[in-house]
């Protein structure tokens, strides 16, 4: 008979303001996370890049192959692009729709943790963990950021929680819950489609270590369930196999270059010391992270029970994730978003342990949550002001849009790539990009230059037409049969051709120039096709 252990010292009435109706709770969580998601412009480069790829998918109608500036783009798998393209197609091209997939992923992540803890540790811990997670600045900000991090965090969380649910409910290997196992395999497949191999590796290692700690390592092999493997293969593998069939170098580029080399090699962006992610994670989860001290004490002194087994799982999940992503030289803070659910569970445990009484726990929780909300609001205001000051793409698009005479008018950008320009302009790519593409230093460091250069390797003919060297620009302008619009920063204006250009707009340090066609009715004879 399955046991359900609830610590009676913290009754369900704790934080009882939280709704218990599933539909109402889901709506409340989503509304809280989404309330101000429409206020900020897209952050560059990440939001502009990934939303731009999704928008290209929507505009082109090609839902299989992600493209950046219409070139094959295989840095990440397609799940985020599919969800975001569907959202933009349904709700229009706006910032809220661009962030909807992250909002839904965060809602699902929070609710899955809540229901898991409710079942295995009781209502008090479930409510407290939900409050912690929803007001942690890192989680709240991640829910409103349009990239893959929150989506893969939700998929990994679903995999771990489903597998743990199957283990906790099993008296022996034969009684593992098949629906829970099916859920674990399905979420693992979605994790693979969200961000690659970490969608499988992290859950597998976390659950494996946990089972060893529980003294049940024999269950590791029993979790390998052939119907689940088949379900994983049906969901997760077809897209990868199709891309490899279409582009023979895909597996090497995606798995070797963007998984193993990125993990082990130098030369990728954001190099940081080993401790960077741990310190950043602790800072971005204030004021809740100090309660981890109380959680450690609670785990050390608790007796064997289902509740303690859950605590051990959460500690393994949190520590392994932080250590795993601290090993590579390249460290991006979004990678450890997957550690937020165990942070929520453990901080809730620490709060309840330190408070000791329901009344004190309620007071502490609400006061800390109020402080967390203030931090969230401050971060959002600062991010909004910073982004508005740093990026003028939205204003540039507003100036350029009424000037365009035709969708066929070529757009040329010099020595930069404004990822979000097509989004705000409503003008499908491509953009012609002028840079010293023959310079070997382009691929020495992560940047928009390297991304476009590597994308062009999968379609060299199209890459040659879109990625222009400076010496190619005069001929391109002479051959154009439509007005050409050039976007250039003030520092690069001296590199513009001197003949036939007219400045038509200026936004901050960026200017827009127009080149009228020299021979509108025909193509010059010396132009290449």
Strand, coil or helix: 488? strand
Give yes or no for residue 528 having a pLDDT over 60: no
Q: Contact, 519 vs 526, CB < 8 A? A: no
Q: What is the mean pLDDT of residues 295-311?
A: 80
Give yes or no for residue 16 having a pLDDT over 50: no
Structure tokens at 29: 């969580």
Give yes or no for residue 9 having a pLDDT over 50: no
Q: What is the mean pLDDT of residues 296-324?
A: 87
Of the candidate ranges 129-133, 187-191, 489-493, the one whose mean pLDDT is the lowest: 489-493
Look at the block and give the residue holding tokens 């200026």: 506
Task: Give the helix/strand (H/E) hosting 421.
Answer: helix 421-425
Which pLDDT belongs to residue 263?
A: 65
Which pLDDT belongs to residue 388?
A: 65
Model confidence band, residue 259 (pLDDT cutoffs 50, 70, 90): confident
Structure tokens at 9: 């010292």
Of the candidate ranges 12-21, 82-91, 327-336, the one whose mean pLDDT is the lowest: 12-21
Bridge partners of 468, per DSSP, are 434
* Helices 306-326/100-121 angle, 10° precision: 140
Structure tokens at 501: 């250009």
Q: What is the mean pLDDT of residues 411-437?
A: 91
Q: What is the mean pLDDT of residues 73-87?
A: 96
Highest mean pLDDT among 89-93, 292-296, 360-364: 89-93
pLDDT, the chain, mean: 86
Q: How many CB atoms lie within 10 A of CB 176?
A: 19
Which pLDDT belongs to residue 34?
A: 92
Give yes or no for residue 56 having a pLDDT over 90: yes
Give yes or no for residue 447 having a pLDDT over 90: no
Whole-angstrom distance, CA of residue 130 vs CA of residue 127: 5
Which pLDDT belongs to residue 85?
A: 97
Q: What is the mean pLDDT of residues 467-480?
A: 89
Whole-angstrom distance, CA of residue 114 vs CA of residue 108: 10
Highest mean pLDDT among 36-50, 221-235, 504-518: 221-235
Whole-angstrom distance, CA of residue 338 vs CA of residue 153: 4
Look at the block and give the residue holding tokens 């399955």: 2
Which pLDDT belongs to residue 440?
A: 79
Which pLDDT belongs to residue 174?
A: 62
Bridge partners of 514, per DSSP, are 485, 502
Phi-psi region of 114 (alpha: psi -120 to 50; beta: other; left: phi over 0): alpha
Give yes or no for residue 3 having a pLDDT over 50: no
Give yes or no for residue 202 having a pLDDT over 50: yes
Bridge partners of 96, per DSSP, are none
pLDDT tens, position by position, 92-136: 999 999 999 999 999 999 999 999 999 999 898 999 999 999 999
- Cβ contacts of 72 within 8 Å, gap of 6 or more: 65, 66, 247, 455, 458, 459
Q: Contact, 341 vs 157, CB < 8 A? A: yes
- CA 297 to each of CA 14, 117, 292: distance values in angstroms, whole numbers, following the listed order: 21, 19, 9
Which pLDDT belongs to residue 459?
A: 94
Give yes or no for residue 49 having a pLDDT over 50: yes
Whole-angstrom distance, CA of residue 243 vs CA of residue 241: 6
Model confidence band, residue 11 (pLDDT cutoffs 50, 70, 90): very low
Q: What's the pTM value of the predicted model, to 2 decimals?
A: 0.90
- Cβ contacts of 322 within 8 Å, gap of 6 or more: 277, 278, 281, 336, 339
Which pLDDT belongs to residue 328?
A: 82
Which pLDDT belongs to residue 268?
A: 61
Which pLDDT belongs to residue 13?
A: 38
């Amino acid at each position: 008979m399955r046991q359900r252990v609830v610590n009676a010292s913290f009754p369900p009435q704790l934080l009882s303001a939280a709704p218990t109706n599933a539909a109402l709770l889901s709506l409340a969580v989503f509304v809280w996370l989404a309330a101000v998601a429409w206020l900020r412009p897209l952050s560059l480069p990440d939001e502009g890049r990934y939303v731009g790829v999704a928008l290209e998918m929507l505009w082109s109608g090609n839902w299989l192959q992600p493209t950046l500036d219409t070139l094959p783009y295989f840095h990440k798998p397609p799940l985020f692009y599919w969800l975001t393209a569907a959202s933009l197609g349904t709700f229009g091209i706006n910032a809220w729709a661009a962030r909807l997939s992250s909002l839904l992923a965060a809602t699902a992540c929070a609710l899955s943790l809540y229901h898991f803890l409710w079942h295995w540790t009781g209502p008090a811990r479930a409510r407290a963990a939900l409050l912690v997670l929803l007001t942690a600045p890192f989680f709240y900000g991640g829910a409103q950021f349009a990239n893959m991090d929150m989506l893969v965090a939700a998929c990994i969380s679903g995999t771990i929680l489903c597998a743990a649910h199957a283990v906790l409910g099993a008296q022996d290997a034969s009684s593992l819950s098949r629906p829970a196992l099916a859920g674990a395999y399905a979420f693992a497949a979605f994790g693979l489609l969200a961000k690659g191999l970490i969608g499988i590796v992290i859950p597998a290692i976390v659950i494996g270590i946990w089972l060893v700690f529980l003294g049940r390592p024999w269950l590791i092999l029993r979790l390998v369930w052939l119907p689940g493997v088949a379900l994983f293969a049906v969901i997760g593998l077809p897209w990868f196999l199709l891309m490899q069939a279409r582009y023979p170098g895909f597996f090497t580029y995606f798995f070797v270059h963007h998984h193993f080399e990125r993990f082990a090699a130098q030369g990728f962006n954001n190099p940081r010391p080993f401790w960077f992610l741990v310190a950043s994670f602790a800072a971005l989860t204030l004021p809740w992270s100090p309660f981890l001290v109380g959680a450690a004490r609670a785990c050390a002194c608790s007796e064997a029970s289902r509740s303690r087994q859950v605590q051990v799982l959460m500690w393994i999940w949190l520590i392994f994730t932080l250590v795993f992503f601290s090993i590579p030289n390249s460290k991006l803070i979004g990678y450890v978003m997957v550690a937020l659910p165990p942070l929520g569970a453990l901080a809730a445990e620490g709060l309840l342990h330190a408070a000791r009484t329901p009344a004190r726990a309620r007071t502490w929780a609400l006061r800390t949550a109020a402080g967390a909300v203030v931090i969230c609001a401050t971060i959002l205001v600062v991010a909004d002001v910073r982004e508005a000051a740093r990026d003028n793409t939205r204003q540039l698009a507003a100036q350029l849009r009424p000037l365009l005479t035709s969708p066929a008018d070529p757009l040329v950008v010099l020595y930069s790539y404004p990822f979000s320009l097509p989004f705000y302009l409503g003008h499908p790519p491509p953009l012609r990009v002028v840079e010293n593409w023959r310079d070997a230093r382009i691929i020495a460091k992560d940047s928009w230059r390297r991304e476009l250069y590597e994308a062009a390797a999968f379609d060299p003919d199209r890459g040659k037409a879109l990625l222009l060297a400076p010496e190619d620009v005069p001929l391109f302008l002479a051959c154009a049969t439509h007005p050409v619009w050039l976007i250039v920063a003030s520092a690069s204006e001296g590199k513009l051709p001197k003949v036939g250009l007219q400045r038509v707009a200026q936004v901050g340090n960026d200017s827009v120039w127009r080149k009228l066609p020299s021979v509108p009715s025909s193509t010059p004879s010396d132009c290449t096709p």
